[in-house]
A and B are shown apart, each in its own frame.
Chain A
Amino acid sequence: MTPPVVEMSGVGRVFAGPPRVEAVRDVDLTISQGEYLSIIGPSGSGKSTLLHLLGLLDRPSHGVYRLDGVDVSTLSERRRTRVRGERIGFVFQAFHLLPHRSVLENVELSMIYLRVPRRERTARAVATLERVGLGHRLDFDPITLSGGERQRVAIARALVAQPSLLLADEPTGNLDSGNAASVLALFDELHAEGLTLAVITHDDGVSGRAQRRVRIVDGVMADVEAEVVA
C-alpha cells in the first residue's frame, strides 16, 4: 500500500516579524496519489505560504510534514533542496522563465541540478514540450511567446523532472480566458494520466476543475467542502 503524497499534521508557519504573523496555523492536509486539489482563499490568507511549505521552499515552524511517506520537516537545507528538485514541480503566476535562453534550455534547467546527462536532458525536454503542444517552439526566446505559451513552457519545465507533486500558484493569474482554458485543459489531462496536482487560486472557475477543494482563511484551513467530483 502506498502512503499519500502529502501528509501534513499540525503544520504552522509563524513569521517572527515584527509584526508577528501566523500565516499558516495548525493545518492538517492529506493529498493522495493522483489527486487534483485546489486551495482557495482570499488574498493574504496564507495560500502562497502553504504552497512554499508544501514545495519545501520553506520550513514549518511546527508540525510534521511527510512527503511520499518520509518526514521532511527536519531535513537539512541541502537535503531539502535535493528533494525539492526531484519531487516537486512548480508553476508560478509570473512564469519565471529565463530571458535570452531558448524554450528548450528553460525546460532542461529542471534537470541540470539533478545530474541528468545532457543527451537525456535534451530528449526528455523535447518530449515534454511536445506533450504540452510546443514542439514547434523549441528554439524560441520566451520573450517572443504569448502568455499561454509561456505558462505551458513553465508547466513543461515543472513536469520534465517527473515530480511526485505539481504545485501551481495562480497559474492562470496572468492569462486571458482563452489561454487560461487551455492551461486548465492541460491540467485535466495530466490529472487523468495520474499526476498529483495542488493548484492555488482565488478564481472559482479554476478551482471548480479540481477533484477536491480546500479553503484557507486567515491561515486556518476551514473544513473542506468535501464534495468529491467524479
Chain B
Amino acid sequence: MRRPRLPRRRAGGRQRLTRGGHRMRLRDLLGEALAGVAARPSRLALTTLGTVLGIAALVATIGLGQTAAGQITERFDQVAATRVTVAPGETDGPDGEVALTQLPWDAPERMKRLAGVASAGTFATVDVAGDPVRGVPYGTQEQTVPVAAASAGLFEALGARLSGGRFFDEGHDERGDAVVVLGRYAADRLGINRVDSQPSIFIGDRAFTVIGILDAVDYRTELQDSVIMPMTTARELYGLEAPEVLEVRTDLGAAQLIGRQAPIAIDPNNPDLLDVNAPPAPGSLRDNVSADVNGLFLALGGLALLVGGLGIANVTLLSVLERVSEIGLRRAVGAGRSHVAGQFLIESGIVGFLGGLIGSTVGVLATVGVSVVRDWTPLLDIRLALVAPLLGGLIGLAAGAYPAWRASAIEPIAALRSG
C-alpha cells in the first residue's frame, strides 16, 4: 500500500525544490514521439505519401543512371577507347560554294610527333577509271574489286593482321612501288592464296606484285574486299588528290587529348575545317547518357520532396492544434517548452524517415524492375539506399520546425482551458 510521501525537507535553512538534472531522457522523448505517430496510423500513410514519391523518384533516377552507365562501361573496351579519326570537313565558302579542305599527305608524320600517338596512317579509295582487276594468269576472269590506298602506318593503326606475306613499308610508299596488299575476300576472288611465289595481279594492264594478304582488321572491314596499294603509287598512277581519312591509334587514355590536338597539328591554319572523331571520356559518356533523363526526374523528385515536406508541415501543424489539451497536460506534469517542441519535431522527423524508407525501397524495386525488363545488370550504390531515408528524416525535421515552435509557444493555462 502506497503512502503519499511527505515533502522533502532538508537540514539547514535553505531548501531545494528540485532534484538536480532537468533534461528528459532522449529515449523517453523518442518513445513519446513514436507513440504519437503510431496513434494515428491512417493519417501517417497520407502524410508520408509525398516523401515516398519524392525519395522513390530520386533513388530510381540515380539508380537507373548508375545502371545505364554501368552497361556502357561494360561495352566500353580498350580498343574503342584508343581510336581517333580525322577527315576533311566542309564549310560554306565566301561565294556560297562549299569549301573543302584536304588532308595533307604527311598527316601521319605530323601526328607521330604528338606524344600519345602509337600509330597513324591515311586511307583513300582509288578511282581506277573502270579498269578491271584480274589475277594471274593474265586473262582469267575479270573482277570488279575495289581499290584502296594506304600509307604504311595504316595497318598498324587499324590493328591489321596478315595471313601471309608482309605489309608495305615507308620505302615502298616513298618510291611509289607497284605492290599491293590484298584483303582477305579480295584475295579469294582473285584466286590468290599464297604470297611466297610473289604472285601478280593486273589493274587494267598494269601489273602489281602481291606482297601480303590480310587476315583481320579492327576497323574498316571494307579493306578485306579491297586491293590496297601505297598512297604514293595511287597518287602517281591514278592521280589521287588527297587522303580521305586519317586513322590514329593512341595510347590508352590519350584519345581525348589527341582528338583536341590533331586538327592543329595537321592544319594549323584551318583547324576548324577538320572533322575529328574521338571517343568520349568514360565520365562524359556516362554523364551524357544520364544527364538529360536525370535532369527531368531529379527535378520531379525534388518537387515531390518539396510538396512532401509541405504536407508533413501541414499535417503536423494540424496535429498541434488538435492536441492542444495534450500539450497543456504535458506542461502540467513537468514538460518544458523544449520538450513539447522536441516531441513534435521528432514526430515529423519520424514521419519523414518512414517516408524515406518506403520511398527508398520503391526506388530500388523500380531500378531492379526496369533493369530486368531491359535485360540490364542492376547497379546501385548501396549507400544511396541507406542515405535516402536519412534525407527523408531531415526533410521531416525541417518540416516540423514551424509546427514545433507553434506547439512550444502554447501557454499551459490556455491549453488546459480548451477541452
Contact = CB atoms under 8 A, between A and B. Distances in A.
A57 B332 contact: yes
Interface stretch (A93-101, A204-212, A213-221): A93-101
Given A52-B413, A68-B17, A72-B17, A84 B332 contact: yes
Contacts of B32: 112
Given A57-B412, A69-B15, A96-B325, A85 B333 contact: yes
A58 B388 CA distance: 45
Interface size class of B (residues with CB under 8 A): 35 or more
A55 interface: yes
Given A5-B7, A98-B329, A162-B5, A86 B334 contact: yes
**Contact-residue size bin, chain A (C-beta under 8 Å from the other chain):** 35 or more
A82 B413 contact: no
Contact of B413 (A58, A67, A127, A157): A58
A207 to B, nearest CB: 22
B21 A81 contact: no
A161 B413 contact: no
Given A68-B7, A114-B334, A86 B17 contact: yes
A79 B3 CA distance: 27
B18 A101 contact: no
A113 B333 contact: yes
Contacts of B333: 85, 90, 109-110, 112-113, 157, 161
Contacts of A195: 4
Interface string B309-350: 000000000000000011011111111110100000000000
A33 to B, nearest CB: 7
A193 B335 CA distance: 28
Contact of A92 (B25, B40, B334, B416): B416
Contacts of A118: 28
Nearest to B9: A2
B6 A100 contact: no
Interface in A89-128: 90, 92, 94, 96, 98-101, 105, 109-110, 112-115, 118, 127-128
Given A84-B334, A109-B330, A110-B333, A127 B2 contact: yes
A82 B336 CA distance: 8
B39 interface: yes
A113 B333 CA distance: 7
B4 A159 contact: yes
B21 A115 contact: yes
A164 interface: yes
A78 B22 contact: yes
Contacts of B136: none
Contacts of A88: 332
A162 B4 contact: yes
B387 interface: no
A175 interface: no
A127 B1 CA distance: 8
B383 interface: no
A125 to B, nearest CB: 11
Given A96-B416, A101-B39, A131-B1, A115 B24 contact: yes
A52 B21 CA distance: 25
B23 interface: yes
B328 A96 contact: yes
Contacts of A99: 39
Nearest to A156: B2
B18 A83 contact: yes
Contacts of A69: 15
B330 A113 contact: yes
6 contacts: A33-B6, A85-B335, A87-B7, A96-B325, A113-B339, A128-B2
Q: Closest 4 CB pairs between A and B?
A: A85-B334, A113-B334, A100-B39, A162-B5
